[in-house]
Amino acid sequence: MRKLYGVMGDPIRHSMSPDIHNDAFRRMDINADYHLFHVLPDQLENAVKGVRALNISGFNVTVPHKTKIMPFLDEIDELAGAIGAVNTVVNREGRLVGYNTDGPGFVRGIKERLGTPLANKKTLIIGAGGAARGIYFSLVKEGITQIDICNRTLQNAKSLIEQCPYETASQAFGFEEAAEMISQYDLIVQTTSAGMSPNVSEVPFEISDRLQASALVSDIIYNPLETGFLRQAKEKGAMTHNGIDMFVYQAALAFEIWTGVTPDSTKMRQIVVNKLGG
C-alpha cells in the first residue's frame, strides 16, 4: 500500500519539501508520496485527527504550528521537548511521535563543513528566537559548552541560557558588545531574519577586522544564498556557510525517522540550489 507523507503549515505553497522528498522516494524505490497540507491555525487539532483517521505515515510541521501541535501528539522526543517545538512527526502504529530535526540538521551540516570535532569550538549565536533555541540546545548536546548568545534584547538571550536543560558555560551580550568580542569565536551562527530576501543588505551588526580568518561564519538564511553578513565575513577572509545545509539535513533526518533509510543529501542540496536559481 502506498504511504502518504506531507508538511503542515500556513502559508505552505512556497515549500520545497515535496521536491526533495518525492525525489528521494523515487530514488530509494519507496512506495510513497509527499504533499503540501495547508492547515489554518484554528484547524490544527482537526488536521491531526485527520492524520490518525487516514493513517498518514508521517509529516513535517512548519510555521506557525511547531509549538502548538505538541499537545495533540502522543509522545515528544527529549530534544524536541527541551526545544519546545516539533518539526517532524512519525506515525508508529497509531501513536504520533514528535521530533525536532532543525537543530540536529544544523549540527550535521556544520560538522560536514568543518570536518573537525565541534567540542572545542568557542561559539557565538546571534539571536535568541526559536531557531536559535533549537541550534543552541543541539550544539550543547553535541558537546560544545562554550557558547555565548547575543541579541538585541539582552533579557531574551539571558532567558534562553537559563532555559537550557544541558550543562553549559554561556554568557549573554547585546549586539554591540558581541561585535567588539568577535575575535574570540571559532564559530559564529547568525539566526535572525536580518538579510533575508528582500532585505538582503541588512545585518545584525557590522563585522569588524577583528574576526579570525580561521573562523566559520554561518547564516541559517538560504534566500539569498549569500547574505550581507556572510559577504562581510568572506571579505574578512573567514569561511562561510549558508542555510541550505540546515534545510537539507533537517529534511534528511526526517526522512530517516520515517523510513529508516538515509537519503542522498547531495541530491537534495542540488534540488534546493536549482530551485533557488543558484
Asked if CATH classification 3.40.50.10860 holds for the domain at 3-99+245-276, the reply, yes or no, is yes
Domain ranges of the chain: 3-99+245-276, 103-241
* Cα diameter, the chain: 59
Q: Is 87 annotated as a binding residue?
A: yes
pLDDT of the residue at 278? 66
DSSP string, 125-139: EE--SHHHHHHHHHH
Same fold, 3-99+245-276 and 103-241: yes
Task: Give dist(CA 193, CA 180) in Å, integer.
Answer: 21
Task: Report whether 166 belongs to an annotated binding site.
Answer: no
- Determine the Cα–Cα distance for residues 218 and 189; give it in Å rounded to an integer: 5
- pTM listed for this prediction: 0.93
The alpha carbon dihedral of 55, 61, 63, 64 has a sign of positive
Topology classification of domain 103-241: Rossmann fold (3.40.50)
Q: Where are the alpha helices (DSSP H) in the chain?
A: 17-27, 44-54, 78-83, 102-114, 130-142, 154-163, 175-180, 228-235, 244-259, 265-275
Strand-pair category, 58-61 with 88-92: antiparallel
Q: What is the pLDDT of residues 47-94, one digit of tens each?
A: 999 999 999 999 999 999 999 999 999 999 999 999 999 999 999 999
Q: What is the model's pLDDT at position 26? A: 98
Known binder of ligand: residue 127? yes
277 assigned binding-site residue: no
Q: How far is 92 from 90, CA to CA, in rounded Å?
A: 6
For 187, the 3-state DSSP assignment is: strand
- The reported pLDDT for the residue numbered 116 is 84
Check residue 123 and report its DSSP letter: E
Q: Which three cell numbers stand for residue 134?
A: 533549537
pLDDT, position 170: 96
Establish whether 109 is an annotated binding residue.
Answer: no
What pLDDT, on a 0 to 100 scale, did the predictor assign at position 277?
A: 81
- Is residue 129 annotated as involved in ligand binding? yes
Q: Which residues are catalytic?
A: 66
Whole-number Å distance between alpha carbons of 150 and 124: 7
Phi, psi angle pair for 89, to nearest 5°: -130, 135
Show the low-confidence residues of the chain (pLDDT under 50). Answer: none
